[in-house]
Structure 1
Amino acid sequence: MTTTTRWLPGLTQAPVIRKAALAVAGLAMAGGAIAGPVAAANAAPATAGTAASVQQERGNGKGAGGKELDFHYKFQETYFYCAPAATKMALSALGKDLSQDELAKKLGTTEAGTNSAIETTRVLTEVSGKGYRTVEIPGDKADQAETDRLRDDVVRALDEGRPVVANIIGTGVDTDGHAHAYPGGHYVTVVGYRDGGNTVKIGDSWSDEGQYWINTDTLADWIASRGYSA
């Protein structure tokens, strides 16, 4: 299993290219998470890279092989912009194009991060006009009912053309065996599902892979103690 840990600025374990970019930007501080459902300030490149738009949707929705939304992927532009980046990716699938700076202002993002999924729900609803809602998984681990609800929420939202934004913390291992570690917290975007919703596709603004698949039960445990916007 390959582990990809995203260390905060100023720590020697950061990937060389991103650590160098942060040094140029003068970001020597180590951002951290606020207790509870608050998102962490996560490391990011000082100059954001832009990837091509991703795969078109497949299948016809629930039980029909899955679905992937067409969206625009981009790295987060500062080490604490994970929520603006995740929200921007979600909105791109809905035909909305706001900058990460604009979204950071709407989300109330600071160098300490973005407070919770309540903020991403509010901004997604405001900008898209769609009916997003916040769902919390309050315990340290998701139970079966919470996992089943997440699966249903993801399938429903993606079938409606709405990506899901999740506030996660800790380590999640994707279907290729790569571990994505965010000990202080992070935000990711759910942009696809397959196997009836048992596996979901993640857009991750601070991952070497950028996009990867993860089991829904793993995602539910990754969200545990926080929440998601669906």
Structure 2
Amino acid sequence: MQNPSLSRRQALGLGVGLGAGTLVGVLPATTAQAGAQRTVAYEYVRQQTQSWCSAASSFIALSSRRNPTQAGLARDLGLSGGSGLQDPLRIAAVLNQRLGLTGAAHRYVFRQPPAGTLKERLRMRVVASIDAGHAVVINMDRVAGDTYSAGHYVAIVGYRDGAYKIADPDEPTRKGVWFGADDVVAWNKLNRFTAFS
């Protein structure tokens, strides 16, 4: 619970002191009710090229609210010449621009929590994002038995106790599959994800 006697400046200082380098403000903790299960509406697409997982995952995140094209998202993300996403901050910028949320108080934000805090912070942000009707885009180095040495983006489209529902644009058999939260955390390459908050 946030201490009401803390000023905004003290709260932000505390957040920065805890290593929240991409903290925009201090939000109240969001926790799911025990046994809660929620998913967002989404349209699954397979990535059109080997390097467009970020574009396809962004498409999945936007699909319930907008009708983007994967090629247009790839262009906006700066994907060219077969290279993958070079700047993970672009995902939040592109999602916000496409949703008309640039500068809005509640919008997509790139997160990279400190080592050892990913499980707790990811859970909090996934619950808040899904409850607001927005998928999360997360960077992985593994999904199930598949390894991605250059990293790979998937969308988290739901949550329940101890698990996340992912839509993996590289593998149609994983277009809406539940995986344990511990597995998803273990498969996260650099503690990076983009969530609505």
Q: TM-score, normalising length from structure 2? A: 0.74
What amino acid is the match of 1:117? Answer: P
Counterpart contact for 1:116–1:226, Cα < 8 Å: no
What amino acid is the match of 1:207? Answer: E
Structure 2 unaligned segments of length 5 or more: list them. 1-30
User: Which among 37, 45, 48 is matched to residue 74 of structure 1?
Assistant: 45
What amino acid is the match of 1:214? Answer: F
Structure 1 unaligned segments of length 5 or more: list them. 1-60, 174-178
- How far 1:208 moved relative to its partner? 4.2
Between the two proteins, what is the percent identity of the paired residues? 29
Query: Which residue in the other structure is 1:166 paired with?
Result: 138
User: Which among 110, 118, 133 is matched to residue 134 of structure 1?
Assistant: 110
Q: TM-score, normalising length from structure 1? A: 0.64
User: What SS class does the counterpart of residue 165 from structure 2 fall into?
Assistant: strand
Counterpart contact for 1:117–1:166, Cα < 8 Å: no
Query: Which residue in the other structure is 1:106 paired with?
Result: 76
What amino acid is the match of 1:203? Answer: A
Counterpart contact for 1:167–1:227, Cα < 8 Å: yes
Query: Which residue in the other structure is 2:3 paired with?
Result: none
Runs of 4 or more above 4 Å deviation: none
Counterpart contact for 1:116–1:167, Cα < 8 Å: no
Aligned positions of 1:1-230 closer than 5 A: 62-63=32-33, 64-93=35-64, 95-110=65-80, 111-128=82-99, 129=101, 131-137=107-113, 142-143=115-116, 145-169=117-141, 171-173=142-144, 179-195=145-161, 198-211=162-175, 212-230=177-195
Distance, in Å, in 2 between the alignment partners of 1:154 and 1:101 is 27
Counterpart contact for 1:163–1:191, Cα < 8 Å: yes
Distance, in Å, in 1 between the alignment partners of 2:77 and 2:43 is 20
User: What number of residue pairs does the alignment pair up?
Assistant: 157
Cα offsets for 1:53-97 (capped at 9, x unmatched): xxxxxxxx921521011110011111211111000000012x111
What amino acid is the match of 2:119? Answer: T
Distance, in Å, in 1 between the alignment partners of 2:97 and 2:174 is 27
